[in-house]
Amino acid sequence: MNRREFLIRSGAAASLSLLGPGTILGQTPPTVPTAPPPPATAFKTLRRNVGIFTGQGGTIGWLVNADALAVVDTQFPATAEIFLRDLPGRDGRMIDTVINTHHHGDHVGGNPTLRPVTKSIVAHAHVPELMRARAAADQRVLDPALLPNLRFTDGFMQGFGDETISARYLGPAHTRGDIVVQFVEANVVHLGDLLFNRMYPVIDRPGGASIRAWVNVLEKIAAEYPRDAIYVFGHGQEKFGVTGTTADLLVFRDYLSALLIHVERGIAAGQAKAEIMQLENLPGFPDFHVPPGRGNRLPGNLAVAYDELTNA
């Protein structure tokens, strides 16, 4: 190699080292991580100044009329901020009440965001103790701003302008603090997580859930609330959505009943809990089916049913 060739080759090597390893052999340099996009959110009016807000977490219900504002559930802080900022017709007014359907974080996480502009936060009497127990189990300090400041045991009813809101506790179900919230004049009924529309649900046994009692609660709702009500669900598969009718409520009741029957038969046949939990999808409910893996709650549902039936 003569001196000229050495200089050319050395210069090429230096150029490659300046470009960095990511550009060799056509590779692109690593990109700088970007912040995740904000969650998709939407407002939808249902009837007579009552609507829903979807974002991240359980469905928010809302009432906005000339004389009052009321909110059911608050999702997480980020979407609660969007909700508060963009709520149609709010115009900077205070919110008269926030009602929490139960204690789970995806339904109450936005309480601290709404609290400074809210006159009262209402929930069932069991909700504060369930919040404290959940925080203790997670080894975290409970933010006092999450806690409701008004509580009831059986029922709550109040007028808000030309609308009346009723809330009732019908017994343990998804937890032992779930309530049914009805916008009486609008004929809209918010069920919170009493209904997962065509989805395997969360069944919070440490939080007091009872599958058998949940079936009874759903049957009571179907019998005692108007047949032509619009029902709002805490969660729903995208294809079916988070609003529906009594028929959707009965589909979910049938799923819970079938879950118990399936596990009862497995126990009678001498199957162990781990064997029963191996079922990937429950026959007869194709709309609920999801691929195996972390996103499939059925094994957990089967485990809770087993524990409930065996008093484990």
Is residue 137, in this structure, part of any structural domain at all? yes
pLDDT value of position 312: 79
Is residue 48, in this structure, part of any structural domain at all? yes
Q: Is the pTM of this model over 0.85?
A: yes
**Cα angle at 65 between 61 and 69, to 5 degrees?**
50
pLDDT value of position 107: 98
Is residue 88, in this structure, part of any structural domain at all? yes
Going residue by residue through the chain (312 aa), what tens digit of pLDDT does each one get? Answer: 443 333 333 333 333 233 343 333 334 444 445 556 767 999 999 999 999 999 999 999 999 999 999 999 999 999 999 999 999 999 999 999 999 999 999 999 999 999 999 999 999 999 999 999 999 999 999 999 999 999 999 999 999 999 999 999 999 999 999 999 999 999 999 999 999 999 999 999 999 999 999 999 999 999 999 999 999 999 999 999 999 999 999 999 999 999 999 999 999 999 999 999 999 999 999 999 999 888 899 999 999 999 999 997
User: What sign does the dihedral 77-91-182-242 (CA atoms) show?
Assistant: negative
Q: Are the C-beta atoms of 114 and 107 separated by less than 8 Å?
A: no
What is the span of the domain harbouring residue 212?
A: 42-248
12's enclosing H/E stretch is helix 3-19
Domain of 70, CATH number, reads 3.60.15.10
pLDDT value of position 34: 56
Q: Are the C-beta atoms of 174 and 203 separated by less than 8 Å?
A: yes
pLDDT value of position 19: 34
* CA distance to 5, 170, 214, per residue, from 251 (Å): 80, 19, 13
Is residue 306, in this structure, part of any structural domain at all? no
Is residue 304, in this structure, part of any structural domain at all? no
Any bridge partners for residue 152, and if so which? 124
Is residue 207, in this structure, part of any structural domain at all? yes
Is residue 188, in this structure, part of any structural domain at all? yes
Burial class (CB in 10 A: 0-12, 13-18, 19+), 299: middle
pLDDT value of position 36: 61
DSSP 201: P
Q: How many domains does the chain have?
A: 1
Is residue 312, in this structure, part of any structural domain at all? no
